Amino acid sequence: MARQVALLFVSLAFLRSVFGQVSYSIPEEMAKGSLVGNIAHDLGLDVKRLKSGKARIYTGVGTEYIVLNKEKGVLVVKERIDREALCGQTTPCALDFQIILENPMQFYSITVEITDINDNSPAFKNNEMKFEIRETVQIGSKFVLEKAVDIDVGINGLQGYSLSSSETFVLNPYRTGSSRNVEIVLKKALDREKQERLSLVLTALDGGDPQLSGTMQIIITVLDANDNAPVCTQAEYRSNVKENSLKGTVLTTVTASDADEGPHGLVRYSISNVPDGALDLFHVDNENGVVTLMGKLDYEKYRHYEIDVQASDEGGNSDVCKVIIEVLDTNDNPPAINIMSASSSISEDVKPGTVLTMMNIQDPDSNENGKVHCILDQSLHFTITSASNNFFTVVTDSELDRETASEYNITVTCSDEGVPSLSSSVTLTLQISDVNDNAPVFERSSYEAYIVENNTPGLSIFTVKARDADWKQNARVSYILEDSSVNGVPVSSYVSVSADSGVIHAVRSLDYEQIKDFQFRVKAQDGGSPPLSSNVTVKILVQDQNDNPPQVLYPVQTGGSVVAEMVPRSADVGYLVTKVVAVDVDSGQNAWLSYKLQKATDRALFEVGLQNGEIRTVRQVTDKDAVKQRLSVIVEDNGQPSRSATVIVNVAVADSFPEVLSEFTDFPHDKEYNDNLTFYLVLALAVVSFLFITSLVVIISVKIYRWRQSRVLYQSNLPVIPYYPPRYSDTLGTGTLQHVYNYEVCRTTDSRKSDCKFGRAGSQNVLIMDPSSTGTMQRIQSEKSILDEPDSPVEVSPPPKENFKKKSSHIHVLYEATVISVI
């Protein structure tokens, strides 16, 4: 028979924005490769979308009869389809499957209806049927025949019967689909003597084109009189039975009565007609007509049975009792979970509502037993929704954070509504992939580190550490020194930062005296795209080292002259001779200075204050003490190791200058130097004398009308502003300079050869001697300032004449501070 593909209809209905349904209709028994329909066109999809979306057919656990040709976008037949094997007598018969697309996930429901063709002939269970009929049977008696079975449906199914030509029997009219039996009716009385045996042919016909048929031989044996047939008590017997009923369960009892007596009235029961495959399920007792269950029922396969129980007597008379059995559903099937499509990994920045998994849930039970609902064991970030009947999707319900949880095991539990409820579950493993959403975080909000000065370049100071909660490349932290300056110098010339480890190294050797502390910023940047970063402030504190020896400020040490301190012989015990003034540019205990007398001409005469450097007499000065006293004072700091400086203090023990001149004039000097210096000193003396006399005249004139004001000005206790040398620091109040000392240096134009020095400590007398001078020094004692007593003259004693004759002399004159200021 030629088979043609008849496309009956195509309908497309979108359930949601991502779901659609298409229906096709094809006949059964189509050849492999036959076209079912152009699914791409019917769904409005491009063939490229089928390829890029990896389109595939999902059929669940059933056989795949239809395949998708992604190249052409059509559905074709993969396997021969037998409608009768697929659906039996169920109409309509359809194949339901889904087409799944990815990126994004979509699915479409496809229904292919399989229409019947006339490929099966009507068939009888038995090739022949025998009757034994008594001759006394009345005209019009009916004899029930076996029904033919045609597994085709509709017009191709069984349509009617025909009986071969006979003068004795006629076929009772039969209407397709009715519950009436196929019967032959006696239209003429039997006469065993005329015809003992009759043979008829019953033909079953379907309505297909071409028409198919099946035949059964009817053999009738005419018996002697038994003219009453059994009669069923009820035309139909109904029974409801649960599908889980046990073997041997009594379904119903069929009864029939026969008006005959004796052996002709004994009724026997037998099953005369059952649906295909149900013969072994039921049994009827031959004698009492009890119908019992002999096999296992399955509501999901057969829900309704109709069987014919024939009641016959020994004379061949019979009646048929119809037994209708309704199978009741029980909740004996748990939901079956079928994963249609699932994502095993998603990014942590996906938006809520992203589809993760699509599932198809099947429960073959009916009514409440087949209604299914699904839940998740954790609903913090996910939820499950029903896309359509029996289709569920797992979607994200909130934002995800890989740093909080990098993997989820999502258990989906589906339960039906039966009593008791049955359930099934499946666990979905979902990996969360990382995105760069966390900036590096330093372990501290700021850092502070110490480094000892004079360090080696390249020394590791300390390490900054930042952590990134992201993963792999996004968590790889690099450290960068931000551009800044320290005292106008780029910070990169002081320190460097290791990009990988965060170790901070000193680039140069640091000097505490130049820079005590500085700060900069370090940036931590991850390896994500785009990168994220944070920064932190680092403060470096330079610690002092005892790398500077004390510096002696007073007395000033020169190479060409000797400064001597005058001590009168009448000085008492504790007389302040002078004070050694020193500073140390280091800090802290490295700058704590102590003074010790290292060497002395007479150690029993002088002592040095340990903390203040004051040189005082220990005992009363006597006439036996040498005029020239030489003291060596060592100044030592408190560092580890300590550093020191030594100063020579010359002390003259005398009441007048002439007494000590000879002690300080034995120093050789260059003649040329003496001659030059003498000339300049004489010239300076003349100029100073002229200026002094002029100043004195001016002062006397002014004093006439400013007498009162000048006395107030010069006799008042005005504050004294001390002079501190550069880089001097008072070390923690130890009193390095406990008193005010003023000192100045007077030089000529040729300062290299000038040795005229002036020094004054309070009101004490100072003797300044030049070793090259052979002349005498004039000692000037003045307890009051010249400005305080303007009328008092300044006396200068000329040197003895014999000294001028013997050798060239340098004249050193010591004036009070006011005289030097005038110069």
CA-based nearest residue to 519, from 443, 445, 441, 447: 447
For 680, the enclosing helix (H) or strand (E) is: helix 671-715
Please count the residues of the chain. Answer: 823
* Angstrom distances, CA of residue 102 to CA of 22, 46, 53, 54, 727: 19, 14, 5, 6, 80
Cα four-point dihedral sign 714, 717, 719, 723 = positive
Q: What angle do CA 144, 146, 150 make, to 5 degrees?
A: 140
CA-based nearest residue to 256, from 284, 222, 220: 284
Indicate the residue type of 757: K
Alpha-carbon gap, residue 809 to 794, rounded angstroms: 22
Over range 257-282, report the average pLDDT: 82
Examine the pLDDT at 351 and tell me if it is beyond 50: yes
Cis peptide before 420 (omega within 30 of 0): yes
Examine the pLDDT at 379 and tell me if it is beyond 70: no
For 17, the enclosing helix (H) or strand (E) is: none
Q: How many CB atoms lie within 10 A of CB 293?
A: 19
Examine the pLDDT at 229 and tell me if it is beyond 60: yes
pLDDT of res. 180? 67
Examine the pLDDT at 492 and tell me if it is beyond 50: yes
Over range 678-696, report the average pLDDT: 88
Q: How many CB atoms lie within 10 A of CB 307?
A: 23
Among 179-183, 336-340, 554-558, 587-591, top mean pLDDT goes to 336-340
Over range 230-247, report the average pLDDT: 89
Name the residue with tokens 């004398």.
689
Alpha-carbon gap, residue 296 to 282, rounded angstroms: 10
In the chain, the N- to C-terminal Cα span, in Å, equals 146
Q: How confident is the model at residue 158 (pLDDT cuts 50, 70, 90)?
A: confident
Name the residue with tokens 């896309």.
387
Output phi, psi for 677, to 5 deg.
-65, -35
> Of the ranges 31-45, 163-177, 321-335, 651-665, which one carries the lowest mean pLDDT score?
651-665
Is the Cβ–Cβ distance between 713 and 785 less than 8 Å?
no
pLDDT of res. 276? 79
pLDDT of res. 240? 92
Q: What angle do CA 721, 722, 725 make, to 5 degrees?
A: 135
Percentage of residues of the chain with pLDDT beyond 90? 16
pLDDT of res. 642? 85
Alpha-carbon gap, residue 539 to 484, rounded angstroms: 13
Indicate the residue type of 690: F
Q: Using DSSP bridges, classify how beta strands 423-433 and 345-347 pair: parallel, antiparallel or unpaired.
A: parallel
- Give 689's Cβ-side CA count (13 Å radius): 9
Cα four-point dihedral sign 546, 549, 554, 555 = positive
Strand partners of residue 268: 312
Q: How confident is the model at residue 538 (pLDDT cuts 50, 70, 90)?
A: very high
Name the residue with tokens 């071409």.
210
CA-based nearest residue to 284, from 255, 313, 257: 255
Is the Cβ–Cβ distance between 326 and 240 less than 8 Å?
yes
pLDDT of res. 708? 62
pLDDT of res. 660? 65
Is the Cβ–Cβ distance between 502 and 463 less than 8 Å?
yes
pLDDT of res. 177? 60
Alpha-carbon gap, residue 296 to 277, rounded angstroms: 12
Three-class DSSP category at 698: helix
Over range 638-667, report the average pLDDT: 77
Over range 631-636, report the average pLDDT: 90
For the chain, state the CA radius of gyration.
66
Cis peptide before 530 (omega within 30 of 0): yes
Indicate the residue type of 659: E
Spatial neighbors of 21 by CB under 8 A, at least 6 apart, are 11, 12, 13, 14, 15, 108, 109, 110, 111
Examine the pLDDT at 674 and tell me if it is beyond 90: no
DSSP letter at 335 equals P
Examine the pLDDT at 598 and tell me if it is beyond 70: yes
Is the Cβ–Cβ distance between 428 and 342 less than 8 Å?
yes
Indicate the residue type of 5: V
pLDDT of res. 58? 84
Alpha-carbon gap, residue 32 to 113, rounded angstroms: 17
User: Strand locations in 117-196, DSSP E?
Assistant: 128-134, 142-145, 158-163, 169-171, 182-186
pLDDT of res. 522? 94
Is the Cβ–Cβ distance between 39 and 69 less than 8 Å?
no
Q: How confident is the model at residue 367 (pLDDT cuts 50, 70, 90)?
A: confident
Examine the pLDDT at 14 and tell me if it is beyond 80: no
Alpha-carbon gap, residue 614 to 608, rounded angstroms: 5
Q: How many CB atoms lie within 10 A of CB 115?
A: 17
* Chain segment 183-220, per-residue pLDDT in tens: 889 998 887 778 888 899 999 888 888 888 899 999 99
207 burial (CB, 10 Å; 0-12 / 13-18 / 19+) is middle
Q: How confident is the model at residue 119 (pLDDT cuts 50, 70, 90)?
A: confident
Alpha-carbon gap, residue 33 to 27, rounded angstroms: 14
b (16+ CB within 10 A) / e for 124-160:
beeeebebebbbbbeeebbbbbbbbbbbbbeebbbbb
Q: How confident is the model at residue 541 (pLDDT cuts 50, 70, 90)?
A: very high
* Chain segment 317-340, per-residue pLDDT in tens: 888 999 999 988 888 889 999 988
770 burial (CB, 10 Å; 0-12 / 13-18 / 19+) is buried
* Chain segment 754-796, per-residue pLDDT in tens: 343 333 333 333 433 343 333 333 332 333 332 333 333 333 3
Name the residue with tokens 């319900």.
397
pLDDT of res. 115? 87
